[in-house]
Chains A and B, each alone.
Chain A
Amino acid sequence: MGLLDKVKNATGLGLNPAESYHRAYEKGVLLAKYSEASEMFGKAAEKFQEAAQSEGVHRARANEYLYRLVATKDLSGIDSILPHLQNLQNIEELGSESVTVSASELATELEARRLENAAHESQGDWTKAQGFHAKAAEKFQALLKTKLKTYKHVPAADHNDSVEERYFLNQGYSSYYQGLLVREADPVQAAERLSQAVLAFKRAKDEALRGRMDQNLSQLRIKRTCWLCHREMLGQGLNVDYYPARITPWGRDLVAKLGQDVTSVEDGSVAVCLSCASMIQIQADVFAERRVNALRQEMLPRINEIISAVHVLTERIAKLERVAHHH
C-alpha cells in the first residue's frame, strides 16, 4: 500500500463505498473501537447510497446500528437494525469481517432481545411481562439449533452461553408470571404454573431461580385449617398464615384428641385464614382509631393548656434574658 493509499485509509477521504466499508473494520471493529466503527459504517452507507447500491446500503446501515448497540448497550437501538436485516441474506458476524451469519436468524435474536427488554421494563405489570416473555421464548424456540450471536458483545445479566438457556429462561418467567396472575383466583392453577416454571428454570441451568420457584410452590401447596372458621384453606402466605397466639400443651393435645388439624398450631402461633385475619385486623384498626380519637378529644384541652403555659414561660424567659443582656 502506497503512502497516498495509507493517507486515504487513515482519513477516509477519496475512498469508494467498498473501501469505506472495509475501513470501518480496519479502523473500528478490529481495533474494538465500536463507536467509531458505527460512524464509519454510517459514512460507508452514504457512499453506497450515492452509488445506488442498495444491498451495500442495508449492510452498512445494519452494521452501523449493530455496532452502535455494541458500543452503547442500549437495546432500544434494535428497532433501527431490523429493517435493514430484512433486506439481507447474511451479514458479517459481530467482531469479524470474514465470517458471516444468517441475517434472518440475527434479526430473530434481536427481536427476542427487544421482547426480553420490554418484559424487564414491565416487571410491575404481570400481564405485560408474561406476554413479552412468552413471545421472547417463541422467538428463541425458532433459534434452538443455532448459536447466540449478540450476547458475547452485548451481554445480558446472565445466561449468555446458549439459545437453549435463554429459551427456557423466558419460558420460566412466562410461567411464573402466569402463576402470579391466577394465584388469588385459583391457587391450584397457580401451583401448576409454578411447577412449569421450576422445570423451565432447571433446564435454563438457573438453580437460584429454580430454588425460588420451589419455595413459592411449596408454600402455595400447603393447606391449613383456619383456627377460627375451620375452613380448609390452600396457600400459606396467600390464603392462610400463622399469627402469634398463646396455646398450652393441653390445648394442643385437645386439638389432636378431637381429630382436628394439629398442623394449624405451631410454636406460639395458630393458622388463621386471610378473611378471618384481615377481618380482625381491620376491625382492630377501627377500634384503635376510635380510641385514639377519643383520647385525643379528652386530652386536647389539657394539651392546649400546657402549650399556653409553655408559651407564657418562654416569653418570661426571653424577657429575663433581654433584661440581663442590658445590664
Chain B
Amino acid sequence: MDSAEIQKILDDLDIQLTVGKIDLPTYQVLAKKWSTRLAIGEASLATATYAPVSNSLTAVKVACPNCGAPMGEDLSPDRRFYTCEYCSHKFAFEQARDQTEQLRQELQGWLSKLVSGAAAGGNAVDATSRAFIFRERLYPSLEMEFNRSMELLEGFREYPLYQTELGALFRGYSSEESPLRAEHQQLAPVRNLTGKLCAPAVREFVVSAEDEQRLAAMQSSTMELIYTANIMQQSARYCAEGYVAARQNLDALRDLYHTTQKRAASASEKQFLSASLARLESAGTVMDVLSRVYSSASGELMGSAFSGELDTAKNLYAQALQLVDESGYSPMQTVPWRHGVEKEVALVELQTGLLNAYDRVVANAGGSFFEFQSALVEFTRQSKAPVADPQSLAAVADGLALLVEARRGGRTLPRLADWSWLGDFQENNRSKKVMFLGKEEQIESLEQYWQPFWLASLSFSQSEGALFKSGSAKQALLILDATSPQQCFASTVEDGSVLNVSLQGASKRQVPDQRLTLPSLVTEASAQIILESYARSNPVLRNPKVTLQQVVYLPAARVVYKSKEGTRVLVGSVISSINPHTDQLRYSTGVFVKRYARA
C-alpha cells in the first residue's frame, strides 16, 4: 500500500468523524495508527483491502455434508453422486447443494445481524471501517462460537490419532471415547464455523495482517478437528480402505501444519508444529503398514516384514516427543498432545508385539493374522487374564508364543522336572475305608501340567536363642503362583531345605514335554509388589528384602477322586501354596496351544 492510499484512509477517517460514523476515541486510535504507518512507509495491509467485491458475498465453499472437509472438485448437476475423499461419505448433488445453501443463509442472517447498515463489506465501506467492524463485532462473535465449540472437543488431544483393532479394547486407547467421536454432534457447529471463516463475505472485513493471522489460526484449528475426526473414524473401520482414507487425512493435516508453521509467530509454536509433523509422519507409516496388513485377503503375512517400518515409526515418535519437550510451548497444548503420542507409541508396540508373536506361533504352519488376533482375544476372554492395557496384551501374546514354541521343542523353559511326589500325593490324599468305616475313593482322572511361578530370593533377619536372644541374617526363597494376579498364592522356602535346592536347580532350562504349560499372567512389577507385601505381612520375617529372579515352571496335578458319595477334586504340586482354580486358564491355553503347536 502506498502513501497515497494511506492518506486516503486518513481523509476517510476525518469524514467519518465529521458525519458521526465513528466516535472521537476510535478516530484518535485509528488516525494515530495510520499516521504512524504513513510516517515509516509501512505497507503491510492485506491485499484484500481493495479486492473486488464478489457478487455473491455470502457464498460458502462447497464442503462434504458429512465431515465438512473441502471438496476437491466443484459440484456439477451433471454428476449425481460424489464421494468425499476424506471420510468416504457418498452423497447426492442435491444434498451438498441444499447444505451449502442452508449454510449460506445462516451466514447471511448472522452477517446482517452484526453488520447491519454497513452493507456487508465491499467497496461500500472503506477499509478502516471494515477493520473496525471486524474487530468489534465479527471477530468477538466468531471467537465466542469458536471457544464454545472447542470447549467440549478440546480433550481430543489426549487420544491417539488412530485406532487399531486390538488397541481399541483398552480404555483411553479407543477413539470411540475421544470427544471427536463421543461428542460427534459438536462437530456440526465446527463445520458451520469453518464455513463462516472461509466465506468471502467475512474475508472482506479482514484488513490487517494481524486480523488475517487470528482468523487463519481459528480456521487452522477447526480444520484440524475435521481431519482428526476423519482419521479416527476411518482407522476404526479396520480395513485397508479405512487406513488409506486415514492416510489421506493425515496428508491434509500435514499440509495444514506446514501452512500454520510458516505463519507461526513464535519459535516455540514452530517447534511444536515440527513435533506434530514428526508425529504425523510416524502415524502415516503406521497407516501404511496397517493398510497393507489388512489388504491381505488370506491374512497370511510375514510379520517381520513390517517390523522395520514400525521401528522407524517408533523412532519418529521419540523424535517428536523430544522436540515437544524442548519446544517450551504452552503445556496446555503439549501435555495432552504428549499423552496422545504416548498412547500411539503403545499401539505401535502392541502391533509390533502381535506381528512378532504371530510369526512365532504360525512358524511354518501358516495361518491368518486376523485369526491369530481373534484367538488371542478369545484366550483373554476365556482365561479371564487381566489385560488392562496394550502392554499387558502384548505380554500375554509373547507368553503364549513362548509356550507354543516350547511345545514344538523350539524353546527351553526353566523347569523343576520332578514328578516323584505325585504317587504319594495321590495315595495320601485318597480316602480309604478303615475297619468298614469311612469311604473308599478311587482315582477317576489325573491331569498333569506345568504351572508358572515367580521365584525370588529373600533376605531377612530372625530371632535366635532361648536365653540370650539375638538376631541373625537369613536367606530363603519366595515363590508366587504366576497364574493368579488377583489372589496371592505365595510361600517361603527355607534355605537348605530339599525344595530350596531343587528350586535353585529349576533355573536350568529344559525342553518341556507334551504336558500342557500354563502362561504367566502376573507381570514382573506386580510380582515384586505382591511378594514384598507378603513378606512384610509375616511377623517372623524381619527386615525383609525381596529380589525377583525369574519365572519357573513347576509340576502340578489335578486329581479327581471318585466314591459312592460323588467326586472330589484336588490340585497339588511340590509346594503347598498353589492356585487350584486354573480350569478356565488350562482350557483356553490348551485350545490356543493345540491350534498353533500342531506343526
Contacts and interface: CB of A to CB of B under 8 A. Distances in A.
Interface of A: 6, 9-10, 25-32, 94-99, 152, 161, 188, 191-193, 195-196, 198-199, 202, 221-223, 225, 232, 258-259, 261-263
Contacts of A161: 529
Contact of B332 (A10, A27, A30, A191): A191
A240 B305 CA distance: 57
Nearest to A193: B331
Contacts of A98: 473
Contacts of A97: 473
Given A31-B463, A152-B532, 9 more contacts: A31-B469, A31-B542, A95-B545, A96-B459, A188-B332, A192-B330, A196-B335, A225-B144, A259-B114
B543 A32 contact: yes
7 contacts: A25-B471, A29-B543, A31-B470, A95-B543, A195-B336, A202-B339, A232-B147
B165 interface: no
Contacts of A202: 339
A145 to B, nearest CB: 18
A30 B151 CA distance: 59
B461 A223 contact: no
Interface in B321-372: 330-332, 334-336, 338-339
A222 B151 contact: yes
Interface residues of B, number: 34
B141 interface: yes
Interface of B: 110, 113-114, 140-141, 143-144, 147-148, 151, 154, 330-332, 334-336, 338-339, 459, 461-463, 468-473, 529, 532, 542-543, 545
Contact of B470 (A30, A193, A222): A30
Main SS at interface, chain A: helix
A192 B329 CA distance: 10
Nearest to A221: B154
Contacts of A259: 110, 113-114, 141
B335 A199 contact: yes
A31 B151 contact: no
B471 A263 contact: no
B228 to A, nearest CB: 19
Contacts of A258: 113
Contacts of B113: 258-259
A164 B532 CA distance: 19
A130 B19 CA distance: 58
B469 A196 contact: no
Contacts of B110: 259
Nearest to B155: A218
A193 B543 CA distance: 41
A30 B471 contact: yes
Contacts of B114: 259
Of all A-B residue pairs in the complex, the 6 with the closest CB atoms, nearest first, are: A30-B471, A95-B543, A30-B461, A195-B331, A32-B542, A26-B470
A221 B151 CA distance: 8
Contacts of B462: 30
A10 B335 contact: no
B305 to A, nearest CB: 35
B113 to A, nearest CB: 6
Contacts of A192: 330-332
Contacts of B471: 25-32
B408 to A, nearest CB: 39
A34 to B, nearest CB: 10
A261 B142 CA distance: 11
A30 B331 contact: no
Nearest to B137: A259
Given A10-B468, A232-B144, A96 B335 contact: no
A136 B81 CA distance: 65
A198 B141 CA distance: 32
Contact of A195 (B335, B472, B532): B335
Given A29-B471, A96-B545, A261 B332 contact: no
Contacts of B332: 188, 191-192, 195, 221
Which among A6, A152, A195 has the greatest number of chain B C-beta atoms within 10 A? A195
Nearest to A222: B151
A202 B147 CA distance: 27
A144 to B, nearest CB: 16
B506 to A, nearest CB: 26
A32 B147 contact: no
B12 to A, nearest CB: 28
B214 to A, nearest CB: 15
A188 B332 CA distance: 9
